[in-house]
Amino acid sequence: MTDSTLQAVFDQVIARNPGEAEFHQAVREVLDSLGPVVAKHPSYTQAAVIERLCEPERQIIFRVPWVDDAGNVRINRGFRVEFNSALGPYKGGLRFHPTVNVGIVKFLGFEQIFKNALTGLPIGGGKGGSDFDPKGCSEGEVMRFCQSFMTELYRHIGEYTDVPAGDIGVGGREIGYLFGQYKRITNRYESGMLTGKGITWGGSQVRKEATGYGTVFFVEEMLKQQRETFEGKRVVVSGSGNVAIYAMEKVVQLGGTVVAFSDSSGYVVEEDGVDVETLKQVKEVERGRIADYVERRGGRALLGSSGSIWDVPTDIALPCATQNELDEDHAATLVRNGCRIVAEGANMPTTAAATKVLADAGVLFAPGKAANAGGVATSALEMQQNASRDSWSFEHTERRLDEIMRGIHDRCLATADEYGVPGDYVAGANIAGFTHVADAMLALGVI
Q: Can you give the three-state secondary structure of 328-351, one letter per residue?
A: HHHHHHHHHCCCCEEECCCCCCEC
- CA pair distance 110, 104, nearest whole angstrom: 10
Annotated binding site: 91, 112, 115, 166, 211, 242, 379
Q: With contact defined as beta carbons under 8 Å apart, do 238 and 308 qualify?
A: no
Point out the annotated binding site for substrate.
91, 112, 115, 166, 379
**Residue 134: CB partners within 8 Å, gap ≥ 6?**
96, 142, 145, 169, 174
Active site residues: 127
Cα-atom radius of gyration of the chain, to the nearest Å? Answer: 21
Q: What angle do CA 189, 100, 288 make, to 5 degrees?
A: 80
- Please enumerate, by residue number, every residue annotated as part of a binding site for NAD(+): 211, 242
What is the three-class DSSP state of 257? strand
- The sign of the CA dihedral 102, 237, 434, 163 is negative
3-class SS at 16? helix
Q: Distance between CA atoms of 107 and 408, rounded to whole angstroms?
A: 21
* 8 A C-beta contact, residue 273 and residue 280: no
The DSSP bridge partners found for residue 432 are: none
